[in-house]
Amino acid sequence: TIGIKDLLQKTQDSGTMQSAQNEGDDDGNNNNDNDDSALDKPSLYIQLPALKDLTLRGSWVLDTQVLEILCRVAPNVIRLSLEGCSGFSLADWISTTSRHLMSLVNASASIPVTAGLSSSVGLVEMDVSRGDAGGATWYQLGQLPEAAQLMILRIHPALLAQSPSLIYVTLDDRQGRDSLTQTVVYWKPAKLPRLTSLILTGTPAISFYPGMLRSTRNLDRLGLHVYAFQNGPPAPIAVSKDDDVELAAVG
């Protein structure tokens, strides 16, 4: 069965594969390490600099190294979908794409995670009505304006910092309606220079503050939604002394 590693490698009749393996042996690596050594040698795999849209769907197994090589051979990808693929963790997915795919705008993957792991990176499960692979939890790191919304409940600010090319952002924390979760999300849309659409659907988990829209000159769609609750008042507006642009939360 052909795998992603096979697709990324150049044809082996050029002797490149054997040369790289011999070089690995010369460096003191044993035969068991040849596969790992080969993956790290640029001469062994193809280059796809013109590739913008990359989709792998189905039961592909990508370990961390293969995921990294996949990102290296196509550094200009702006849409990456690995829905249904397995073999890498949520942390691998975030760190690898943010290191190698600097133009990435839309990224999606099916990643099985435990409650503890998702919590450790500031995420909770999304209630998305779509088919999944093996009960995988769906997370979307970014998207084009016409694509599905970015809906990561209680999104970790560092995740946005690693995705500077985001154009269309929606944060939705309505799951906290009953529990009145007091998690507060602080983030700076100004750090997203390409942002054109911003929708914030808030409960106590999302705070709006004066100056949050400063420098978002490309913004052509804005929605701020704050809901009232039977069990308590909506979240107060957080005020920063460093911000002098007034913004009221509306709903």
Question: Is the domain of 133 the same as that of 175?
Answer: no
Position with higher pLDDT, 250 vs 219: 219
The verdict on 250 and 173 lying in the same domain is yes
Does any domain span residue 31?
Answer: no
Question: Which residues of the chain form beta strands (DSSP E)?
Answer: 53-55, 79-82, 106-111, 137-142, 168-172, 197-202, 221-226
Of 47-61, 128-142, 196-210, give the lowest mean pLDDT range.
Answer: 128-142
Give the SS3 label for residue 177. Answer: helix
Domain-located, residue 76:
yes
Specify the pLDDT at position 179. Answer: 35
222 located within any domain: yes
81 inside domain: yes
For residue 182, tell me if it sits in a domain: yes
> How many percent of the chain have pLDDT more than 90?
0
The region of weakest confidence among 43-52, 114-123, 218-227 is: 114-123
Question: Rounded to whole angstroms, how far apart are CA atoms 154 and 61?
Answer: 29
Same structural domain, 195 and 246:
yes
Same domain, 93 and 175: no
CA gap 234, 73 in Å, rounded:
48
Q: 53 or 225: whose pLDDT is higher? A: 53
Structure tokens at 131: 């088919």
Residue 214: predicted pLDDT: 66
Q: Give the lowest-confidence range in 39-43, 82-86, 134-138, 168-172.
A: 134-138
Q: Which stretch of 8-12, 124-128, 215-219 has the lowest confidence by average pLDDT?
A: 124-128
User: Residue 25 has what pLDDT?
Assistant: 46
Residue-wise pLDDT tens digits, 78-130: 888 887 788 887 778 777 887 888 777 766 776 655 555 555 554 444 444 44
Question: Between 47 and 180, where is the model more confident?
Answer: 47
169, pLDDT greater than 60: yes
pLDDT for residue 48 is more than 60: yes
pLDDT at 77: 87
pLDDT at res. 9: 77
- The reply to whether 89 and 205 lie within a common domain is no
Within-domain flag for 117? yes
pLDDT at 60 exceeding the cut of 70: yes
Rounded to whole angstroms, how far apart are CA atoms 123 and 59? Answer: 25
Q: What are φ and ψ of residue 239, in 5° steps?
A: -115, 130
- Residues 74 and 195 both lie in one domain: no
Do 108 and 1 fall within a single domain?
Answer: yes
**Is residue 227 in some structural domain?**
yes
Last residue of some domain: 83, 107, 142?
142
Please report which residue ranges of 123-205 form alpha helices under DSSP H: 157-161
Instruction: Assess if residue 154 is contained within a domain.
Output: no
Using the 3D structure, point to which of 75, 108, 142 is the last residue of a domain. Answer: 142
Where residue 234 falls among pLDDT bands split at 50, 70, 90? very low
103 and 202 share a domain? no
* Selected residue with higher pLDDT from 250 and 74: 74
Q: How many domains does the chain have?
A: 2
Range of the domain at 241: 167-251
Same domain assignment for residues 119 and 196: no
225, 177, 228: which is closest to 201 by C-alpha? 225
The Cα–Cα gap between 109 and 129 comes to: 15
Interior/surface letters 39-51, b for 16+ CB within 10 angstroms, e for the rest: bebeebbeebeee
126 and 3 housed in the same domain: yes
Residues 125, 186, single domain; the answer is no
One domain for residues 78 and 186: no
Query: Is pLDDT of 183 > 70?
Result: no
